[in-house]
Structure 1
Amino acid sequence: LTEGAAGKFDITGAPDVATAEQLVKDGDVEAAVVPSDSNATGFELIFATEADPALVSQMSVQPQVTILDPDSDGSAGFLLYIVSLGFGLVFFVSATTFGASIAQSVVEEKQTRVVEILMSAIPVKALLAGKVLGNSILAFGQILAIAALSVIGLTVTGQSELLAGLGTPVVWFVVFFILGFILLAALFAAAGSLVSRQEDIGSTTTPITMLIMIPYFAVILFNDNPLIMTIMSYVPFSAAVGMPVRLFVGSAQWWEPILSLLILAVSAALVILVGSRIYENSLLKMGGRVKISEALKA
């Protein structure tokens, strides 16, 4: 296959797979479509040094991708590293910034006894929902602004091929981040309700921060490891980073982000139920740190 005008392909015939691979190596064609028994589609795309996400996305079904000479010049690996770093950094900074803000506001309301006045006027669950949704809207706005600026920057600098490859992963990243942050926001609110002083907030929010840091470092260290990236794309705390990276390299089937999103949605619903119970039962308890077991039993 050689991409021609108007997004159509110029097709060059080959008698066998070996000849097709040689055409790709010689640069006579951009990619070769060959039969394959190793996947459900029945064929695979062969590239010389790196896969072209734009070309892969134009196929009617997502094929298996084979690279004959992976990362021969190091550019593909560096690009994957930069993209992985970008997704991981945006997720880490946004989640920790707005998540910590939620926890601090909960502790401040407890410490100043303002929460007692608020609870006399509105239900506790409504108070929690307002706190989570308010900070979530700010986080979503930041993510959308970063996505828009990235698109503008790539367009201005003429990176049309990279922009075409990043389009779908960025959209999925925003969708995954929305559900993922709601999950984390509920955890931060519950963690904040367990203590009554700002000085103690680190003891309850540190485990949550660690859950956010793990996908950040994992995607940087293991972005070229298919097994680890596949696991990350299905774990709720890292799916927002792992799945977009897999979509960028073309290793995820069309149904995988949908399944991962369903798992994340169910996980978020369960965490919200548990987090709201902890929040409701711990909000009026002053003094030392409230144990999670006590908050759940109250």
Structure 2
Amino acid sequence: MSTVTPTRTPAGTPGGTPTTGASAVSTTAAIGLVAEREITSQVRSKAFLISTAITLLLILGGIILSSVLGGGGDEEATDTVALVGTSETVSASTLDVREVASRAEAEELLRSGEVDAVVLADDSPAGVTVLGLEEVPGGVVGTLTVQPEIELLEPPTGNPGLRAVVGIGFGLAFMITALGSGTMIVQNTVQEKQSRVVEILLAAVPARVLLAGKILGNWVIGVSTAAAMAATAALGLAVTGQGELLAMLTAPMLWFVLFFLVGFVLIASVFAAAGALVSRQEDTGTVMQPAMMLVLLPYFGVVFFADNPLVMTILSYVPFSAPVGMPLRLFFGDAAWWEPLISLAILVVTAWLVSLVAARMYENSLLKMGSRVPLREALKRT
């Protein structure tokens, strides 16, 4: 059975809640102090620093390794092109050129796989058009002295492999940062309850201020970690010469950061409320499991349903998966310009409502020791 440990509240603030206009400044300062305490405790943790460094190295190494394995042998290979007409833009020293009489014959060679591309000398502004099947080899375009017109005989409707890779990337970034920070919030909250430090903290600041400071501090850590991961991925893409993919990812990554800023508050509120329900580290697993599923949902959702337009559309509006689902749809051009705005608005409202519920649970449970606090008791009005 849970027991309640009484604590003192600051003078002039019934229930520990500031009541004067001047106290608003002290409340802001108190939130900052709690946030600073959270940030400092994590930054000084060797486990956090080592795990973050390993994660960044894995991201960089994975991008470099995939580039080497996926395109290492293509750089030295000579592309074969079918040339229709005479064009001074084609260098026979860098391309394996096969002259053909007509476009129809060249297209037949292209469809059969005998050539990698077709170069047509025509009356277009560039004087040359390059034909490809589903894509045009970069080596062909790079050897031409002008920027040609490009036509694809069989334009791809999508790239399942790239969709899966980008989806996993967004999902991992959200999962690692949110899950790591959320776990830290739960552990710190339970440790403070178990060591009775929370009684000292609540004698100085109200529970809602303590909660806000914890969320803010871990928000800073989470956003910084996500930014470091994005910067590392951008560095890896730039180093491996995947500038085109990096350019395509820029806008979706900005949307991902924007959604992450709000989505993290939502996740952190859930973890903080969960941590306040128990007072022993061995009991954290029972309260963390539901919260962890809310974080794992975006990851598994984009991995298993990345090719399903209907499911991805739904996931892009569900608050817990929107930080992953919407940027992914934007990357592949599957979302209209107004969709991320509506999705973000839904996420903001949900985060606000969940944070209010979490604050009530936090206040009602923080001083109750012993067995796990029942959810009904944590949600009751005081």
TM-score range normalised by the length of the shorter chain: 0.7 to 0.9
Match of 1:134 among 210, 217, 223: 217
> Is residue 70 from structure 1 mapped to residue 119 from structure 2 by the alignment?
no
Aligned with 1:234: secondary structure?
coil
* Structure 1 residues 48 and 173, CA gap change in structure 2 (3 angstroms): farther
Alignment partner, residue 244 of structure 2:
161
* Structure 1 residues 28 and 266, CA gap change in structure 2 (3 angstroms): farther
Match of 2:261 among 148, 153, 178: 178
Structure 1 residue 212: Cα displacement: 1.1
- Distance in structure 1 (CA, Å) of the matches to 2:319 and 2:303: 18
Name stretches of at least 5 consecutive residues in structure 1 with no aligned partner: 1-21, 30-46, 51-66
Q: How does 1:1-298 map to 2 (within 5 A)?
A: 49=134, 68-70=155-157, 76-297=159-380, 298=382
Q: Is the 8 A contact 1:85 1:220 kept in 2?
A: yes
* Structure 1 residues 237 and 112, CA gap change in structure 2 (3 angstroms): same
Q: Is the 8 A contact 1:49 1:70 kept in 2?
A: no
Count of aligned residue pairs for this structure pair:
238
Seq. identity, %: 55
- Distance in structure 2 (CA, Å) of the matches to 1:296 and 1:139: 28
* Structure 1 residues 180 and 48, CA gap change in structure 2 (3 angstroms): farther
Name stretches of at least 5 consecutive residues in structure 2 with no aligned partner: 1-106, 112-116, 121-131, 136-153
Structure 1 residue 295: Cα displacement: 1.1
- Distance in structure 2 (CA, Å) of the matches to 1:170 and 1:120: 42
Deviating above 3 A after TM superposition, structure 1's stretches of 4 or more consecutive aligned residues are 25-29, 47-50, 67-71
C-alpha distance after superposition, 1:147-179 (max 9, x if no partner):
112222212222121011101111111111111
C-alpha distance after superposition, 1:17-62 (max 9, x if no partner):
xxxxx9xx99899xxxxxxxxxxxxxxxxx9748xxxxxxxxxxxx
- Distance in structure 2 (CA, Å) of the matches to 1:27 and 1:260: 44
C-alpha distance after superposition, 1:220-262 (max 9, x if no partner):
1111111010000000000011011101110110111111000
Q: Is the 8 A contact 1:48 1:70 kept in 2?
A: no
Structure 1 residue 70: Cα displacement: 3.3
* Structure 1 residues 187 and 48, CA gap change in structure 2 (3 angstroms): farther
Aligned with 1:235: secondary structure?
coil
* Structure 1 residues 223 and 285, CA gap change in structure 2 (3 angstroms): same
Question: Which amino acid is 1:223 matched to?
Answer: A
Question: Which amino acid is 2:214 matched to?
Answer: K
- Distance in structure 2 (CA, Å) of the matches to 1:205 and 1:276: 17
Q: TM-score, normalised by structure 1?
A: 0.76
C-alpha distance after superposition, 1:241-296 (max 9, x if no partner):
10111011101101111110000000000000000000011001111110111111
Question: Which amino acid is 1:168 matched to?
Answer: A
- Distance in structure 2 (CA, Å) of the matches to 1:252 and 1:261: 13
Question: Which amino acid is 1:210 matched to?
Answer: M
Q: TM-score, normalised by structure 2?
A: 0.60
Question: Which amino acid is 1:263 matched to?
Answer: I
Q: Is the 8 A contact 1:103 1:191 kept in 2?
A: yes
Alignment partner, residue 43 of structure 2:
none
Aligned with 2:368: secondary structure?
coil
Structure whose alpha-carbon radius of gyration is higher: 2
* Structure 1 residues 249 and 171, CA gap change in structure 2 (3 angstroms): same
Question: Which amino acid is 1:117 matched to?
Answer: I
Question: Which amino acid is 1:282 matched to?
Answer: S
- Distance in structure 2 (CA, Å) of the matches to 1:260 and 1:27: 44
Q: Is the 8 A contact 1:219 1:242 kept in 2?
A: yes
Aligned with 2:369: secondary structure?
coil
- Distance in structure 2 (CA, Å) of the matches to 1:49 and 1:253: 25
